[in-house]
Amino acid sequence: MGGAFVAAAVLARLGNRIGLPTIPLFILAGILLGPNTPGFVLLKDPHDLEMLSALGLVLLLFYLGLEFHMDDLKTGGRKMALAGGAYLALNVGAGLAFGFLLGWGTSEALVLAGVLGISSSAIVTKVLVDLGRIGNPETKPILGIIVVEDIFLALYLAALQPVLSGAEDLAAAALQIGKAFGFLLVLAIAARYGTKVIGRLFATKDNELLVISFLGAAVLVAGIAEEFGVADAIGAFMVGLMLGNTASGERIRELVHPLRDAFGAIFFFGFGLSIDPGDLPTVLWPVLIAVVVTLMMNVLAGLAAARLYGFGAQPTANISTTLLARGEFALILATMAAAAGLDDRLSPFIAGYVLILAVIAPLIAGRSHWLARILPGGRGDQEPPRALSPEDEALAKSTP
Residue of 5, 143, 169, 118 lying closest to 354 (CA atoms): 118
d(CA 193, CA 271): 37
pLDDT of 277: 84
- Alpha-carbon distance values, 246 to 253, 290, 337 (Å): 11, 41, 35
d(CA 362, CA 124): 8
d(CA 208, CA 318): 41
Q: What is the pTM of this model?
A: 0.73
Each residue's pLDDT, cut to its tens digit, for the chain (400 residues) gives 888 889 888 988 888 787 777 778 888 888 888 888 888 888 888 788 888 888 888 888 788 778 766 665 555 667 888 998 999 999 999 999 999 999 999 899 999 999 999 998 777 877 887 788 877 888 888 877 887 887 787 778 777 877 777 655 566 667 767 777 788 788 878 877 888 888 888 888 899 999 999 999 999 999 988 887 677 777 888 888 889 888 888 999 999 989 988 888 888 888 788 778 888 888 999 999 999 999 999 999 999 988 888 898 999 999 999 999 887 788 888 888 888 888 888 988 998 898 888 878 888 988 898 999 888 877 644 444 444 445 445 444 444 4
pLDDT of 74: 58
